[in-house]
């Protein structure tokens, strides 16, 4: 598998970020992993072009800007800033309401149950990037 | 005044005695006695009648009935006259008017009488104001009581709902830190196991096992709190539910060589997924707690009882000591030591909740070594 150039993690939980980054590294899924504990910071980096991930793994429940608000704000970015990134939502449990809402959201390309494991990471990339 | 003359046993035969008795009765009876002419004029009344109205006898006899009958009760007086003519007796309720303009409620009885060859209308009234007042208060209290009960029932339902919501939210939120603990114990296991000595490895193993068990319990609690909330009411054929459950459990059934037999089961308006949980748990228990030397055999039958169905699920397994019968329906109460039989101990609590949800109750009949019979009632829901 060819690794992706960059995967961005947007999640306020450092423990999850640690585990997810580790899974991505063990899977050899990306050259670079960017970790954002605040969605606002991630959004700013995406807006000004300092961050150009191929894949964004987005948590739903976050203090401050949450996952849904991030998606709305992301949608308003200039097209060239957002077209390259594949957006995947990290989910803790299958809440049918959230799932329906996420499915109806045009930006989201998929779901990934937490915690992301090495195998889960490989499978996700195969599915999203046909690699 | 239903007392017929013939039922009087001690009756004067002497006329003067009889007249004296009439006078005594007339004078002392606490009921108001009125004698009207057939054209509705008051021609006689007793002391009680005068006292009730607060007039002297002379005043009363000089008045038209509308002057001592309250307008609210006057129609009764009209009916009284017509009814006596038509049927020869009258019974009704009316209102009297007092000299000070007050109103009192009365019960009225009437009979036509002959006095000295002339027909009169005889009427007796009893003041029922106090009785009516008590009755009104009684009704009022009854209504208040009903309202209080309705309010309390509503409060209870709301409090139960809150409790369920609480169970759901806590179990949901507990999952997150638990998941992190388990993930990191995996990290330790994968990356650092070799650096730990035997004791350290044992400690890590206990952390992982407990984490797994707690995770299972939290998931079970979540499932318990969700029972019934996710499914709508529909016509559910219990034989179909059972068939579905047996398909899901076919591997366990085959492995243990279990035989499951069911008679004709009813179709109920019910929650399908909840009933599925019920049968799934009862049958898997029956198979799980089988005797080592005997393949499990499960019999299910249904009988109609008063506006409900009683369903019995019997097995030939190891049975349950009667001292544990109550405990088995509680969340996480296990009868057996962990290890011998799998499970967190929530299955029968699930069952009890499903049955309660369908307006029924669940009981257990069992002796150690003699199988167990779970007997429960289910009702169609509105």
CB A105 within 8 A of CB A46: no
Mean per-residue pLDDT of chain B? 91
- The strand ranges marked E within B153-290 are 233-237, 259-262, 267-271
Residues B275-293, buried b or exposed e (16+ Cβ, 10 A)?
bbbbbbbbbbbbbbbbeee
Within 8 A by CB and 6+ apart from B90, the residues are: B79, B80, B83, B84, B108, B109, B110, B111, B123
In DSSP terms, which residues pair with B44 in a beta bridge? B35
Residue that is written with structure tokens 């009960």 in the block: B149
Which residues fall within 8 angstroms of residue A76, CB to CB, at 6 or more apart?
Answer: none
Contact A15 B175 (CB under 8 A): no
Catalogue the E-assigned strands of chain B: 32-37, 42-45, 90-97, 103-115, 118-127, 233-237, 259-262, 267-271, 297-305, 308-315, 362-366, 372-378
Q: Which CATH superfamily is domain B5-127 in?
A: PAS domain (3.30.450.20)
- Rounded Cα–Cα distance for residues A83 and A70 (Å): 15
- Which chain B positions have a beta carbon within 8 Å of A92's beta carbon? 175-176, 179
Nearest-Å Rg of the Cα atoms of chain B is 40
| Contact residues, chain B, for A13 at CB < 8 Å | 176, 180
Give B314's strand partners: B299, B373
Kindly compute the dihedral angle of the four CA atoms of residues A86, A90, A94, A98, in this order, to the nearest 10 degrees. -70
Question: Is this prediction's ipTM beyond 0.90?
Answer: no
- The reply to whether B160 touches chain A by the CB within 8 Å rule is no
Task: Give CATH 3.30.565.10 domain extents, chain B.
Answer: 233-378
Q: Give chain A's domains with CATH numbers.
A: 4-129 (3.40.50.2300)
Confidence of residue A56 (pLDDT cuts 50, 70, 90): very high
Nearest one of B280, B228, B271, B233 to B253, comparing CA atoms: B280
For chains A and B, count residue pairs whose Cβ atoms are closer than 8 Å: 20
CA distances B11 to B14, B96, B112, B224, Å, are: 9, 33, 21, 80
Number of residues that this document lists for chain B:
382
Q: Of B340 and A94, which is predicted with more confidence? A: B340
| pLDDT for the residue numbered B135 | 93
Residue B4 pLDDT more than 70? no
The answer, yes or no, to whether residue B108 has pLDDT greater than 60, is yes
Q: Select from 1.10.645.10, 3.10.450.50, 3.90.1150.10, 3.30.565.10 the CATH code of B233-378.
A: 3.30.565.10
In this predicted structure, what is the pLDDT of residue A31?
A: 96
Q: Note if the bond before A115 is cis, omega within 30 degrees.
A: yes
Residue B298 reports pLDDT greater than 90: yes
When pLDDT is cut at 50, 70 and 90, the band that residue A120 belongs to is very high
Q: Cβ of B60: how many Cβ atoms within 10 Å?
A: 21
Is A115 within 8 Å of B172 when comparing Cβ atoms?
no
Most confident of A68-72, A84-88, B43-47, B210-214: B43-47
The predicted structure's pLDDT at residue A98: 73
- Using CB atoms, pick whichever of B176, B184, B187 lies closest to residue A92: B176
**Res. A131: pLDDT tops 70:** no
Whole-prediction pTM: 0.62
Q: Do B175 and A13 touch (CB under 8 A)?
A: no
Is the model's pLDDT at B43 over the cut of 70? Answer: yes
Q: Which strand (E) or helix (H) includes residue B342?
A: none
Q: Give me the mean pLDDT over the A59-71 stretch.
A: 90
Opening angle at CA B215, ends B209 and B216, nearest 5: 90
Residue with more model confidence, A103 or A127: A127
Measured distance CA(B349)–CA(B351) in Å, rounded: 5
Q: Say yes or no to pLDDT of B230 above 80.
A: no
pLDDT tens digit sequence for B231-266: 689 999 999 999 999 999 999 999 999 999 999 999
Tell me, what's the pLDDT at B363? 94
Distance of residue B154 Cα from the nearest chain A Cα, in angstroms: 27
- Number of Cβ within 10 Å of residue B320's Cβ equals 24
The mean per-residue pLDDT over the stretch B266-284 comes to 95
CA distance B382 to B361: 18
Residue B338 has pLDDT above 70, yes or no: no
Please state the φ and ψ torsions of residue A16, each to the nearest 5 degrees: -65, -40
Residue of B168, B170, B171, B176 to mutate for A, most A C-beta atoms under 10 A: B176
The candidate with the shortest Cα–Cα distance to B236, out of B259, B263, B265, is B265
- CA pair distance B214, B132, nearest whole angstrom: 65
What is the pLDDT at residue B89? 93
- What's the distance, CA A48 to chain centroid? 18
CB contact under 8 A, B183 and A93: no
Percent of chain B with pLDDT over 70: 97
Tell me which of 3.40.1130, 3.20.20, 1.20.58, 1.10.287 is the CATH number of domain B130-226.
1.10.287
Q: How far apart are CA B189 and CA B212, in angstroms?
A: 14
In the predicted model, is pLDDT for residue B166 greater than 80? yes
Q: What is the pLDDT of residue B6?
A: 58
Contact A114, A91 (CB under 8 A): yes
| Least Cα separation, residue A115 to chain B (angstroms) | 8
Distance, in angstroms, between B230 CA and closest chain A CA? Answer: 10
Q: What share of chain B in percent tops pLDDT 90?
A: 77
């Amino acid at each position: 598998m060819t690794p992706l150039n960059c995967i961005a993690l947007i999640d306020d939980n450092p423990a999850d970020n640690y585990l997810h980054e580790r899974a991505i590294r063990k899977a050899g899924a990306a050259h670079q992993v960017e970790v954002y504990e605040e969605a606002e910071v991630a959004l700013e980096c995406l807006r000004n072009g300092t961050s150009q991930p191929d894949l964004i793994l987005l948590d739903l429940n976050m203090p401050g800007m949450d996952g849904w608000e991030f998606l709305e704000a992301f949608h308003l970015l200039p097209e060239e800033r957002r077209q390259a990134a594949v957006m995947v939502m990290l989910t803790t449990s299958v809440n049918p309401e959230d799932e329906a809402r996420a499915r109806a959201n045009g930006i989201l390309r998929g779901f990934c149950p937490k915690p992301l494991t090495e195998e889960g990471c490989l499978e996700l990339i195969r599915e999203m990037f046909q690699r | 005044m239903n007392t017929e003359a013939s039922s009087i046993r001690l009756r004067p035969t002497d006329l003067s005695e009889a007249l004296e008795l009439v006078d005594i009765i007339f004078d002392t009876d606490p009921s108001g006695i009125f004698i009207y002419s057939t054209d509705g004029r008051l021609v006689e009344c007793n002391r009680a009648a005068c006292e009730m109205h607060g007039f002297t006898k002379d005043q009363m006899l000089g008045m038209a009935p509308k002057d001592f009958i309250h307008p609210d009760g006057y129609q009764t007086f009209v009916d009284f006259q017509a009814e006596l003519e038509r049927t020869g007796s009258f019974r009704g309720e009316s209102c009297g008017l007092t000299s000070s303009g007050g109103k009192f409620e009365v019960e009225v009885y009437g009979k036509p009488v002959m006095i000295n060859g002339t027909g009169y209308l005889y009427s007796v009234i009893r003041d029922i104001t106090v009785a009516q007042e008590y009755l009104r208060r009684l009704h009022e209290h009854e209504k208040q009581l009903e309202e209080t009960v309705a309010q309390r029932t509503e409060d209870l339902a709301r409090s139960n709902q809150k409790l369920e919501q609480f169970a759901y939210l806590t179990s949901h939120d507990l999952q997150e830190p638990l998941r992190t603990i388990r993930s990191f114990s995996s990290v330790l296991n994968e990356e650092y196991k070799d650096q730990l000595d035997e004791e350290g490895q044992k400690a890590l193993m206990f952390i992982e096992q407990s984490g797994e068990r707690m995770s299972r319990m939290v998931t079970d609690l979540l499932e318990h709190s969700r029972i019934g909330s996710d499914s709508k009411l529909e016509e559910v054929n219990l034989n179909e539910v059972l068939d579905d459950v047996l398909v899901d459990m076919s591997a366990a059934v085959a492995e243990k060589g279990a035989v499951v037999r069911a008679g004709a089961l009813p179709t109920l308006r019910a929650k399908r997924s909840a009933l599925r949980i019920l049968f799934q748990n009862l049958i898997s228990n029956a198979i799980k707690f089988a005797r080592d030397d005997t393949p499990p055999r499960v019999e299910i039958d249904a009988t109609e009882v008063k506006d409900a169905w009683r369903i019995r699920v019997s097995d030939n397994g190891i049975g349950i000591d009667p001292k544990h019968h109550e405990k088995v329906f509680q969340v996480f109460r296990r009868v057996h030591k962990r290890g011998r039989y799998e499970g967190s101990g929530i299955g029968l609590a699930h069952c009890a909740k499903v049955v309660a949800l369908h307006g029924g109750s669940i009981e257990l009949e069992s002796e150690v070594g003699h199988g167990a019979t779970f007997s429960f009632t289910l009702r169609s829901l509105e």
